[in-house]
């Protein structure tokens, strides 16, 4: 592979081939419930859930370690926000969550596990005065769930070459809003150009990297600016209904195991997940760089065309508000290595070879 990591792509030719040769089918990995809607992004799916709640439920409890777009989503819907802390392994217990729900009189709880792993210790039931929104994005294909969830949301586009896509599920009852939202045509036009540019660069050695990178950046700027809701595009749904998710699962697990076998992670820091349970499909291979500079290590990888993201910089809102000491360390130390279905175990060994060249 020319490079490892960064944005997904799909050429028009591959799209047409997929549509022509693979029949559409339902995705058995989706969460079940009594009603389901598809949106362009997970943040829009969360807004749909929030709008489905009574107007007086405007106080929410969220994880301290989360995406800035999730925080903005709740702010757009007029919520007062409180946050729950995590330990060094990104874990929290439901008993601690309950204490904070009662302390802050929060009527809505958002929970999400990290990197595919179950990081919520359900040592007691969540209090029944809270509506639970489970963001399953990072554990979309892992075989666990939270039975107390009233709503489930997930981003589809984080897992493959989908221009957009997310869903929200209402476990009991129907969504009140049945608006037929439009596709986000402006965003889709840009992201499709980016897909084509990167496909030409990776698969045919044509074009310039900066050209498609600028297009991806434009597309992300558009998404961040959105205040309206949009439905998942027909093209993304066509890919989603035909994508080989069984192969995705096998590849990600095999790649994780290959990286896990490297014996010198402790020279860099600590793995957030030092084993791979049978029920887990990993999103990334993540570690906390406690013994070296994250920026220096990330730049070293990039110099060999291995692109390891900091998936969530600390949101400006949290910079102003402050977070717990452990969460602050998580934000400053964590780095994620790509292991997705585009890559083989040989590519993972290439990552290890690049790491072995690193000098602190």
Q: pLDDT tens, 247-276?
A: 999 999 999 999 999 999 999 999 999 999
Write out pLDDT tens, residues 273-295.
Answer: 999 999 999 999 999 999 999 99
Contacts of 259 (CB under 8 A, 6+ apart): 285, 337, 339, 348, 351, 352
pLDDT at residue number 251: 98
Give dist(CA 82, CA 57) in Å, integer.
14
Write out pLDDT tens, residues 58-89.
Answer: 999 999 999 999 999 999 999 999 999 999 99
Segment 300-319 mean pLDDT: 96
CATH class label, 35-170: alpha beta
- pLDDT, the chain, mean: 96
Write out pLDDT tens, residues 208-218.
Answer: 999 999 999 99
pLDDT at residue number 178: 86
pLDDT at residue number 1: 67
Is it true that 35-170 and 245-356 share their CATH fold?
Answer: no
Q: Which percentage of the chain shows pLDDT scores above 70?
A: 100
The dihedral built from the CA positions of residue 86, 87, 90 and 96, taken in this order, carries a sign that is negative
Is a pLDDT exceeding 80 seen at residue 198?
yes
Residue tagged 């089918």 (tokens): 25
Is a pLDDT exceeding 90 seen at residue 339?
yes
What is 245-356's CATH number, 3.40.190.80, 3.30.2310.20, 3.90.1150.10, 3.30.565.10?
3.90.1150.10
Is a pLDDT exceeding 80 seen at residue 5?
yes
Give domain limits for the chain. Answer: 4-21+183-226, 35-170, 245-356
* Band of residue 317 on the pLDDT scale cut at 50, 70, 90: very high
When comparing pLDDT for 114 and 57, which is higher?
Answer: 114
Write out pLDDT tens, residues 82-92.
Answer: 999 999 999 99
pLDDT at residue number 147: 86
pLDDT at residue number 108: 98
- Beta partners for 168? 37, 153
Radius of gyration of the chain (CA): 20
pLDDT at residue number 28: 87
Print burial letters for 92-105: b (CB count within 10 Å at least 16), e (below 16).
Answer: bebebbbebbeebe
Map 246-262 to HEC letters.
HHHHHHHHHHHHHHHCC
CB 296 within 8 A of CB 36: no
Is a pLDDT exceeding 80 seen at residue 334?
yes
pLDDT at residue number 15: 95
Q: Which percentage of the chain shows pLDDT scores above 90?
A: 95
pLDDT at residue number 120: 96
Residue tagged 């906390």 (tokens): 288
Give dist(CA 164, CA 166) in Å, integer.
7
Map 106-125 to HEC letters.
CCEEEECCECCECCEECCCC
């Amino acid at each position: 592979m020319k490079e490892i990591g960064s944005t997904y792509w799909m050429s028009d030719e591959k799209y047409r081939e997929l549509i022509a040769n693979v029949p559409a089918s339902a995705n058995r990995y989706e969460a079940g419930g009594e009603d389901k809607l598809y949106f362009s992004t997970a943040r829009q799916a969360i807004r749909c859930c929030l709008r489905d709640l009574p107007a007086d439920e405007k106080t929410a409890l969220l994880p301290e370690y989360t995406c800035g777009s999730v925080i903005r989503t709740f702010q757009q819907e007029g919520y007062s926000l409180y946050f729950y802390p995590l330990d060094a392994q990104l874990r929290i217990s439901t008993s601690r969550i309950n204490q904070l729900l009662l302390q802050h009189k929060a009527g809505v709880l958002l929970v999400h596990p990290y990197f595919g792993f179950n990081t919520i210790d359900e040592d007691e039931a969540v209090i029944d005065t809270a509506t639970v929104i489970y963001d399953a994005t990072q554990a979309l294909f892992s075989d666990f769930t939270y039975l107390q969830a009233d709503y489930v949301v997930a981003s589809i586009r984080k897992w493959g070459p989908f221009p957009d896509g997310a869903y929200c599920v209402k476990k009991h009852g129907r969504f009140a809003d049945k608006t037929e939202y439009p596709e986000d045509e402006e965003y889709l036009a840009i992201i499709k150009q980016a897909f084509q540019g990167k496909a030409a660069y990776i698969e045919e050695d044509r074009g310039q990297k900066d050209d498609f990178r600028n297009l991806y950046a434009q597309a992300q700027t558009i998404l961040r600016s959105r205040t309206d809701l949009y439905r998942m595009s027909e093209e993304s749904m066509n890919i989603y209904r035909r994508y080989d998710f069984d192969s995705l699962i096998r590849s990600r697990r095999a790649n994780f195991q290959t990286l896990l076998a490297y014996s010198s992670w402790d020279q860099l820091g600590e793995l957030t997940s030092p084993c791979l349970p049978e029920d887990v499909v990993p999103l990334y291979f993540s570690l906390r760089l406690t013994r070296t500079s994250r920026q220096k290590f990330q730049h070293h990888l990039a110099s060999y065309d291995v692109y390891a993201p900091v998936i969530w910089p600390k949101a400006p809102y949290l910079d102003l508000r402050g977070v717990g000491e452990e969460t602050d360390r998580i934000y400053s130390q964590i780095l994620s290595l790509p292991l997705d279905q585009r890559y083989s175990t040989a590519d993972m060994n290439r990552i290890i070879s690049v790491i072995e060249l690193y000098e602190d």
